[in-house]
Amino acid sequence: MSIPVALTIAGSDSSGGAGIQADLKTFAACGVYGASAITALTAQNTRGVTGIHDVPPDFITAQIDAVFSDLDVKAVKIGMVARYEAIEAIVAGLIRWSPQHVVVDPVMVATSGDRLLSPDAVDALRTQLFPRASLITPNLPEAAALLNEAIAESEADIEAQGRRLLTMGSPAVLIKGGHGHGPESTDYLIDGKSVIRLAAPRIATRNTHGTGCSLSSAIAAGLAKGQGLEAAVRDAKAYVSAAIAAADRLQVGHGHGPIHHFHVLD
């Protein structure tokens, strides 16, 4: 039996903690073969982003077509897409190849606080990419930014924002609660029928670089293996929570270090 294949379409992180590198590590840790199409090169480390070099849209297209024309892609994860033209190229590729599962992580700001998405690309996310997604995975600040609203403080506000995000075309949204407060980090999986509350103990560490990338990739890995959406999200959250809990063992960099993708091997 062949190994399931997942494709990540995202930016590269030169320090290896987020983006394409985190996605491929997550795919491998979750038992999925990872392919990639790089949308941007970043010069970054655990302290911040010092430069972004965008990949031309026609070369993003070439990468996507090269992968889909040869590999049996079961799920796609889409991360950093800094420019409107890149989103156009990705959407055209999704229309051409029609993958069954598409997880979109609307990466707008890095853990360090650096903005990664140009303002004109935000509207393209809402109107072009989200309608092609099976699931979108914004954190609390990203959900607020997408809606031009204040960051949700209460559970009722989070659920209401989730429902408003659904009107942008994706059948499901996972609002991540890592930026919240309290003893638990709670995510909310919202679709047209239900709200599923997913809580885990909040872990006291500054080493959370790549958390969002890794969660969305772990969800895509589960979908690629044939899991239903809720099961894929639950397993992904458990995987990332354990990777955060083990992050301090790595001691990589002097800023926000990476999570421990291969914690089960220690």
Distance CA 248, CA 125 (A): 34
d(CA 158, CA 196) in angstroms, rounded, equals 12
Instruction: Look at residue 109 and tell me whether its pLDDT is greater than 70.
Output: no
Active-site residue (options: 8, 26, 137, 208): 208
- Residue 139: half-sphere exposure toward Cβ, Cα within 13 Å: 17
Q: Is 212 one of the annotated active-site residues of the chain? A: yes
> Do you know the residue count of the chain?
266
Q: Give the mean pLDDT of 229-258.
A: 91
**pLDDT tens track for 70-102:** 999 999 999 989 889 999 999 999 999 999 999
Nearest residue to 255 via CA among 13, 8, 9: 13
pLDDT tens digits for range 164-192: 999 999 999 999 986 556 667 789 999 98
Tell me phi and psi for residue 123, to 5 degrees: -65, -35
Q: C-alpha angle with apex 134: 130 to 135, nearest 5 degrees?
A: 75
pLDDT tens string 124-160 = 999 999 999 999 999 998 999 899 899 998 899 999 9
Question: Do 108 and 122 form a contact (C-beta atoms < 8 A)?
Answer: yes
**Confidence band (pLDDT; 50, 70, 90) for 113?**
low
| Maximum alpha-carbon separation in the chain | 48
Backbone Cα Rg of the chain = 17
Mean pLDDT of 190-204: 88
| Catalytic residue status for 192 | no
Instruction: Give the pLDDT band of residue 114 (cuts 50, 70, 90).
Output: low
Q: What is the pLDDT of residue 233?
A: 97
- Residue 30 bears catalytic tag: no
Residue carrying the six token digits 């990338």: 213
CB atoms within 10 A of CB 234: 18
Catalytic-role residue among 25, 74, 77, 176: 176
What sign for the dihedral angle of Cα 180, 185, 189, 194? negative
Query: What residue ranges define each of the domains in the chain, with the CATH number in brackets?
Result: 5-265 (3.40.1190.20)
How would you classify the pairing of strands 135-136 and 101-104?
Answer: parallel
For the cut 90, the answer to whether the pLDDT of residue 48 exceeds it is no
**pLDDT for the residue numbered 235:** 97
Residue of 34, 178, 212, 257 marked catalytic:
212
Task: Answer yes or no: 176 catalytic.
Answer: yes
Catalytic residue among 74, 213, 222, 257: 213
The pLDDT mean for the chain works out to 91
Whole-number Å distance between alpha carbons of 176 and 191: 14
Residue 104: partners with Cβ closer than 8 Å, 6 or more residues away: 78, 125, 129, 130, 132, 133, 135, 136, 137, 170, 216
H or E element at residue 243: helix 229-245
% of the chain exceeding 90 in pLDDT: 68
List all residues 6 or more positions away from 17 whose beta carbon is below 8 Å from its beta carbon.
Answer: 46, 209, 210, 252, 253, 257, 258, 259
**pLDDT value at residue 245:** 87
Catalytic, out of 210, 222, 225, 257: 210
The pLDDT of residue 112 is above 60: no
